Amino acid sequence: MCGIIGYVGEENAVPIIVEGLKKLEYRGYDSAGVAVCGQNGFFDVIKQKGRLTALEARLSENPIAGNMGIGHTRWATHGEPSDTNSHPHVGSQNKIAVVHNGIIENYRQLKERLEQKGIAFASQTDSEVIAQLAEYYYSGDLLDTVIKVANALEGSYALGIMCLDEPDMLVAVKKDNPLIIGVSGHGQFIASDVPAVLKHTNKVCYLNDKEIAVLTKGGARFFNMDREPLSKTPETVTWDIDSAEKGGFEHFMLKEIMEQPKVLRDTIQSVHSGGNKEVIESLEAARFDKLVITACGSAYNAGVVAKYVFERLCRLSVEVELASEFRYKDAIISDKTLVILVSQSGETADTIAAMREAKAKGAFTLGIVNVVGSTIAKEAEVCLFTAAGPEIAVATTKVFSAQLVLLYILAVRFAAALGKMTEEAERGLSAEIAALPGKAEEILSRIDSIQKYASTCIGYKSIFFIGRNIDYAIALEGSLKLKEISYIHSEAYAGGELKHGPISLVEEEDTLVVALSNCGRLRGKIMSNVEQVVSRGAKVLLIGSCQDAGQSGIISYIGLPEVPELFSPSLSVIVMQLFSYYVAANKGLDIDKPRNLAKSVTVE
């Protein structure tokens, strides 16, 4: 949930770290800090509550410099957001400085032990214990100390550690949280994510759990916990720096919404060659008697859509489980179960735990992941990659669309392999999938009318999303998108459920209902639901193929290009993303970094 970065090399570490933190701010933005081994033989540390801009202001008043440094952007877990609780943390002997992403579960016990030895703590964080413990163990060899510290810690961590006595050496270690090592001509980097180092290098090594990196100006060496050297060859990252920049858009979210036709095209193309093709061809549909999709947030919503598609096309039983529930429920799965883990980051703690639980029970695991080198990408038996490039906005858009399209493709392939579909039908549906990017473009060309409509909606107290069947599935995502960036109360309901309780929430003037109507045989039913809420005073936005909307003024209508209903979520979601975006933009909110959220949820 936090972002860490470190640099050792020929250049001044401070601007490199601050620039890198900007690319990691999506991971947390309660406070930020930077520490360098200063020229005076001490650590120079500047930490500041609030956004990175506040840290930058402090740094311009008190410039610091050094050839080795570490930086951090925080999403608070232990201790309120404050200057003191910000990272880097320095031990009380002022000898060792640490940045940490993760949670130390046994920090209370460790802290008590150290306090009994007279060590005074300055913050309320779990992370400070790492710096204090490292100083306590230190006897002239930082690598040795890091091994001892890592062996004493329980929980999750990605760490960057510097010691004043070894001022040319930056040490990193990780467990259950991501950490990459960047290598360049002028120096070496550690970072929570690739975009933080892309300006300087596209050569990265991925650290595995309990592996240690020792970085100096001259290069990177790797060790295991027994101090045995490991060999790692840097991989070349294909994302370019532009894909991690805003490119003239006001927000990353809008840029990423607009990128969707390309992302859909690239993802569809990806199954015709290379790794994705091999994975899809290797899956034997007949081997499985049950399919479980498990994920969190929007990725879970993609799973709910996929359930409707798989069940309709393959007549195969599909369960969709929140990963946070799946991991503890003692799931009924076997070696005949295919468990699909859907995750943009590939680092979501609950989804990783669900994957490990599924593997331990003998199920076959398939990851659908955006970040190459992430934990799910590495640990799932096979993995399909969404070809979306880096997604920076906390609210996912383009990766969600790429997840959907991969799941459609998989469902069509499974249906054909299971003999539930003729070759002709398979060709027909594949052509419909191939047509989605063009239809997405058509919707995006109508952006002005969606913007205009959204600007009239900022005053609603509640906005409900309703739909039936697959429209209900995608309504879940519409509602999540709206609430996470606009802070307007929102829920999604299956149309048929309204009369069982939710309709009592409809208030005259204060309620907008976004109704989805893409399911031909259920159109009459959803229109009855619309009538029911209209007669209780709600305003309605209807999205879908329903030209008979009528009642203008009460019911506004956004039509979609013609599309088979099973694939309609790919189009209606774009309308809902734009609607949410413009509602939030009209409220003047910080769209890319909504309050209390972080993009990558690497803690439980």
Active site residues: 2, 599
CA distance 389 to 574: 18
Which residue's CB is nearer to ligand M6R, number 297 or number 390? 297
Which residue's CB is nearer to ligand M6R, number 345 or number 365? 345
258 lies in the binding site for ligand M6R (CB under 6 A): no
297 lies in the binding site for ligand M6R (CB under 6 A): yes
Contacts of 369 (CB under 8 A, 6+ apart): 341, 343, 344, 345, 346, 376, 377, 380, 383, 384, 385, 386
In the 8-state DSSP scheme, what is residue 40? T
Q: What letters, b where the CB count within 10 A reaches 16 and e where it falls short, cover 222-245?
A: bbeeeeeeeebebeebeeeeebbb
CA distance 434 to 275: 19
Which residue's CB is nearer to ligand M6R, number 127 or number 351? 351
| Interface characters, 465-504, with ligand M6R (x: CB under 6 A) | ---------------x---x--------------------
CA distance 197 to 16: 9
User: Rounded to the nearest whole angstrom, what is the least distance from the CB of residue 298 to ligand M6R in the complex?
Assistant: 3
CA distance 420 to 313: 7
351 lies in the binding site for ligand M6R (CB under 6 A): yes
CA distance 87 to 46: 9
- Residue choice 35, 90, 161, 296 for contact with ligand M6R (CB under 6 A): 296
348 lies in the binding site for ligand M6R (CB under 6 A): yes
The stretch among 2-10, 22-30, 328-336, 340-348 that binds ligand M6R (CB under 6 A) is: 340-348
Question: How many residues lie near ligand M6R (CB under 6 A)?
Answer: 16
User: Rounded to the nearest whole angstrom, what is the least distance from the CB of residue 370 to ligand M6R in the complex?
Assistant: 8
Which residue's CB is nearer to ligand M6R, number 201 or number 374? 374
User: Rounded to the nearest whole angstrom, what is the least distance from the CB of residue 559 to ligand M6R in the complex?
Assistant: 26
Give the number of other Cβ atoms within 10 Å of residue 361's Cβ: 15
518 lies in the binding site for ligand M6R (CB under 6 A): no
User: Rounded to the nearest whole angstrom, what is the least distance from the CB of residue 209 to ligand M6R in the complex?
Assistant: 18
| Interface characters, 213-252, with ligand M6R (x: CB under 6 A) | ----------------------------------------
Answer whether 364's CB lies under 8 Å from 390's CB. Answer: no
Which residue shows structure tokens 């929007």? 298
User: Rounded to the nearest whole angstrom, what is the least distance from the CB of residue 23 to ligand M6R in the complex?
Assistant: 16
- 509 in the Ramachandran plot: left (φ > 0), alpha (ψ -120 to 50) or beta? left
192 lies in the binding site for ligand M6R (CB under 6 A): no
The stretch among 100-108, 223-231, 286-294, 343-351 that binds ligand M6R (CB under 6 A) is: 343-351
State whether residue 6 is helix, strand or coil. strand
CA distance 146 to 179: 16
Q: Which two tokens stand for residue 493?
A: 């309901």
- Residue choice 17, 64, 114, 299 for contact with ligand M6R (CB under 6 A): 299
CA distances from 261 to 387, 392, 565 (A): 12, 18, 19
345 lies in the binding site for ligand M6R (CB under 6 A): yes
362 phi/psi in degrees, rounded to 5:
90, 0
Beta-bridge partners for 319? 292
Which residue's CB is nearer to ligand M6R, number 67 or number 348? 348
- Residue choice 294, 298, 570, 572 for contact with ligand M6R (CB under 6 A): 298
Residues 408-447 contacting ligand M6R, CB under 6 A: none
- Residue choice 344, 486, 556, 572 for contact with ligand M6R (CB under 6 A): 344
| Interface characters, 368-407, with ligand M6R (x: CB under 6 A) | --------------------------xxx-----------
Using alpha carbons only, what angle is made at residue 124 by residues 59 and 215, rounded to the nearest 5 degrees?
55
User: Rounded to the nearest whole angstrom, what is the least distance from the CB of residue 388 to ligand M6R in the complex?
Assistant: 11
Which residue's CB is nearer to ligand M6R, number 327 or number 523? 327
Answer whether 340's CB lies under 8 Å from 294's CB. Answer: yes
Q: Which two tokens stand for residue 441?
A: 């473009």
Label residue 562 exposed, middle or buried (CB < 10 Å: 0-12, 13-18, 19+).
exposed
Sort strands 337-343 and 364-369 into parallel, antiparallel or unpaired: parallel
- Residue choice 85, 86, 132, 343 for contact with ligand M6R (CB under 6 A): 343
The stretch among 292-300, 354-362, 423-431, 453-461 that binds ligand M6R (CB under 6 A) is: 292-300
570 lies in the binding site for ligand M6R (CB under 6 A): no
User: Rounded to the nearest whole angstrom, what is the least distance from the CB of residue 294 to ligand M6R in the complex?
Assistant: 10
State whether residue 7 is helix, strand or coil. strand
User: Rounded to the nearest whole angstrom, what is the least distance from the CB of residue 348 to ligand M6R in the complex?
Assistant: 3
Beta-bridge partners for 557? 542
User: Rounded to the nearest whole angstrom, what is the least distance from the CB of residue 88 to ligand M6R in the complex?
Assistant: 26
Using alpha carbons only, what angle is made at residue 184 by residues 179 and 185, rounded to the nearest 5 degrees?
160
User: Rounded to the nearest whole angstrom, what is the least distance from the CB of residue 248 to ligand M6R in the complex?
Assistant: 23
Which residue's CB is nearer to ligand M6R, number 343 or number 518? 343
Answer whether 270's CB lies under 8 Å from 385's CB. Answer: yes
Q: How many CA atoms lie within 13 A of 98 on its CB side?
A: 30
Residues forming contacts to ligand M6R in the complex (CB under 6 A) are 296-299, 343-345, 348, 351, 394-396, 480, 484, 600-601
